[in-house]
Amino acid sequence: SPPAAVSQVTVRDALNQALDEELERDERVFLLGEEVAQYDGAYKISRGLWKKYGDKRIIDTPISEMGFAGIAVGAAMVWLRPVCEFMTFNFSMQAIDQVINSAAKSCYMSAGSISVPIVFRGPNGAAAGVAAQHSQCFAAWYGHCPGLKVVSPWSSEDAKGLLKASIRDDNPVVMLESELLYGVPFEMSEQAQSKDFVIPIGKAKIERQGTHVTLVAHSRPVGHCMEAAAVLAKEGVECEVINLRTIRPMDIETVEASVAKTNHLVTVEGGWPQFGVGAEICARIMEGPAFNYLDAPAVRVTGADVPMPYAKILEDNSLPQVKDIVFAVKKALNI
């Protein structure tokens, strides 16, 4: 049989495809947020959807996160399936009461009689030159809270499959995208472009097989890990790269199996070090069966422990770069 068709699709188009397919499939799905309708989305993720689905399904909101997130949570409680876009996750702070106290806790506090099938999505973490109030990673914040599921895609396939799974899920899902990945094209298989393609929430993906060290990352740093792995391969070091995809529930089994094979662990994230995603992975490995396989302490590569500077050179030095990952791997391997 001929090889399956593979095409290049940007993360932006993959998200647009996922929204379009789910809006079409289920009339309870609707999108709301600032500039999502007439302007086609601040990042053009919702391009063409307002023209196709109209005012009832694609809703421009006032600049009031607390207000529109509250409307969305209420709608989800009466069994609509809202997709609530934050123009950046930093602005979800305006609505964190809705996300945590209303969405995340309602199912438990109602003994399962209220479910909240809602997706909160938008760009998370640093972009380029947008300073501290637009550059924070909220993976650890939202990953901390029971009642939420938290996904963090890297590739176009991740973006499409995870968004579709999130919309179909009967629980609140926080989807943390990267603004800097929106325009990046990735290969997408024919299967991934079908209307029934979903990626299960809570399952990591091994992006590269290796034998010497396990690299675990989510979102944009997965790409940095792939680049670092290519550099290190020239020096005879084979890295296994794991794309977490989901922050909560965390697929620690995939990491454990990899560490049992490579005996070394390096975690990479754009967020801050203290109480971060890497800290959680290291703790879980420490507490579990994989600890006995480690030949050296696990190493974390993170963003700098400072609010994001505005100046480009400072920003570059505040985020993990390929050279930082290479350095961390050599430290872990003692080479």
Query: Does residue 65 have an active-site annotation?
Result: yes
Say whether both 39 and 180 belong to one domain: yes
Same domain, 183 and 260: no
Q: What is the pLDDT of residues 91-144, one digit of tens each?
A: 999 999 999 999 999 999 999 999 999 999 999 999 999 999 999 999 999 999
| pLDDT for position 217 | 98
* Surface-to-core class of residue 63, CB atoms within 10 Å of its CB (0-12 exposed, 13-18 middle, 19+ buried): exposed
Q: How far apart are CA 41 and CA 76, in angstroms?
A: 22
| Residues 111 and 236 grouped into a single domain | no
Give a yes or no: residue 91 inside a domain.
yes
Task: Report the CATH number at residue 251.
Answer: 3.40.50.920
Find the domain containing 101 and state its range: 9-193
Residues 219 and 81 in one domain: no
The answer to whether residue 58 sits within a structural domain is yes
Last residue of a domain, one of 171, 193, 215: 193
Of 193, 218, 237, the residue at which a domain comes to its end is 193
Do residues 213 and 181 both lie within one domain?
Answer: no
DSSP state of 93: G
120: domain CATH number? Answer: 3.40.50.970
Assess whether 173 and 307 both reside in one domain: no
Claim to verify: residue 31 and residue 162 sit in the same structural domain: yes
Question: What pLDDT score was predicted for residue 2?
Answer: 54
Tell whether 23 and 168 lie within a shared domain: yes
> What pLDDT sits at residue 6?
84
Is 280 one of the annotated active-site residues of the chain? no
Same domain, 184 and 209: no
H or E element: which one contains 108? helix 105-109
* 107 within domain boundaries: yes
* Domain limit, last residue, from 193, 215, 244: 193
Ranges of residues in the chain with a pLDDT under 70 are: 1-4
Longest alpha-carbon distance in the chain:
60
- On whether both 174 and 237 belong to a single domain, the answer is no
Asked if residue 3 is part of any domain, the answer here is no
Residue 121 and residue 229 share a domain: no
On whether residue 2 sits in a domain, the answer given is: no
From the list 248, 228, 249, the residue with the least C-alpha distance to 240 is 228
Report whether 73 contacts 103 (CB < 8 A): yes
Catalytic residue among 22, 65, 85, 240: 65
Same domain for 17 and 64, yes or no, is: yes
Into how many domains does the chain fold?
A: 2
Please give the pLDDT value at position 5: 75
